Amino acid sequence: MAQFTANRGAFTPVAHATQADNWALTALTVGITAKVKMFGWGGRGTTSTGYRTRWGRVNNTAVTPTALALQSSNPNAVALCSVNTYATQAALAADPAGLWTQDWNVLGGGGVIILPIGGEWMVAGGALGTLFNQIACGNIAGADASLSSYSVTFEE
């Protein structure tokens, strides 16, 4: 199976109680699945600012996607899923619900989580708004102008 990675930096994230505007992994076609293998976050701020970032399943119908560029582990593979941002943001359940939540500092803070074999997060294909067809990342606290970045690696 091929793996694909999307990175998002050089943007201004929005701190919001439920919106997930950093990225959303989306499986739109019925019958396709993908597993999140790894995700990351990081900062290059020059002042100490606390962030709270979380990852979870989308519970609304996000619309008007803009696709992020994907890098493939196999040069011949083409991804069936996409990683997007949306004009109408993906929304997550209120904190602390979600798959993972991390408090961190944009002043050189960051990390990567590699999910264990058998413990990967899965998306299953369906129309936008279909249960379990999106996983997204957003900040509850922390906003900046091009000082933080967020990534996801998934397998199809």
What would the DSSP string read from start to end of 40-103?
EEEE--SS--EEEEEEEE--S--EEEEEPP-EESSTT---SSEEEEEEE-EE-PSTT-SSEEEE
The answer, yes or no, to whether residue 81 has pLDDT greater than 90, is yes
Pairing of strands 23-26, 110-114: unpaired
When pLDDT is cut at 50, 70 and 90, the band that residue 92 belongs to is very high
CB 39 within 8 A of CB 151: yes
When pLDDT is cut at 50, 70 and 90, the band that residue 127 belongs to is confident
Q: Per-residue pLDDT averaged across 17-29, rounded?
A: 95
Task: Count CA atoms closer than 13 A to 117's CA, side-chain side.
Answer: 0
Residue 128's pLDDT is 83
Q: What distance in Å separates the CA atoms of residue 23 and residue 2, rounded to the nearest whole number?
A: 20
Q: What distance in Å separates the CA atoms of residue 14 and residue 91, rounded to the nearest whole number?
A: 12
When pLDDT is cut at 50, 70 and 90, the band that residue 3 belongs to is very high
For the chain, give the mean pLDDT: 95
Question: Which residue in 32, 129, 31, 138 sits closest to 85, CA to CA?
Answer: 138
Domain holding 102: CATH number?
2.60.120
Q: Into how many domains does the chain fold?
A: 1
Residue 32 belongs to what domain range? 3-155
The answer, yes or no, to whether residue 129 has pLDDT greater than 90, is no
Q: What angle do CA 38, 94, 106 make, to 5 degrees?
A: 50
